Structure 1
């Protein structure tokens, strides 16, 4: 059984934050058998999600649990830069590895909360991290005629999180002239809905 925290998407402000913290504090940590897979399929990875290959909106999901391998596979298979899964491991009866792995494949973050530990700061940390920007849609424009190889191909980079470093290596042919080499990286900022040149 599962229950949505909110029926519709909420703007991040003090009221929904307080409601979210209150609901997490009231949760029973002995879920044993919560059907997370169905909740994810119906709440996130539904038919509409499957049909739209790209969304201009960021979708953040918060799970107060770990996850079995079938859920990790579902999230990994449907991975997109604009969909991020955050996990909150509560108590002692969960797999730390699975909670962290789900957040990793879901482009999110994991926080662990002990049995009698106050979880406010950890929930707030996850909410704050969920507001971080990311960039996607990378391309490299250059005037190099004889490049042997470009590592990593910018088109293969699905997204970069805020403060994440981007390193490109360009291997030149011996025939490449050394003067006037120009490089320009383009990307898309989905939060501002604009191309960055």
Structure 2
């Protein structure tokens, strides 16, 4: 076992045990299963933290709890009256998706893909590696053969361009493709060369 992970787990997760148990007791219809649920939640959080530690551990803990309860309700073929009575407390989403919602979701996905494709190549690669493949800054820098600061600049620039494209009224236009300052210098743009 990783001592630092165990220390993190005790400091960031186990300190919320009392709140977690109260939440589970309030939300789960079978009081005798609360302690088993708690253990399953801890296992999920711990296993997830082995891969990457969450930025907001308490929120991650309670989201994991809600998701686990949701999974258990959905898995149960025969849902008891008690469970359906408390289903609103679990914040479950109904899986009935209308054709309009499917079309809207497809359109949003197309907009996101267009915005992503409009990013400068280095920004696009960094955003993909950091946000989709969830690589660390160090792993991304190693893979791309650049320093950590460059990765952070490309990520910040890429996220800013995506946000501007998606939320800044640029729906009909491409995202600006001017490379970040450090990339401009590498390519010779600094002195007007192309």
Q: TM-score of the superposition, structure 2-length normalised?
A: 0.26
Structure showing the higher helix proportion among its residues? 2
Structure showing the higher strand proportion among its residues? 1
Larger Rg: 2
Q: TM-score of the superposition, structure 1-length normalised?
A: 0.25
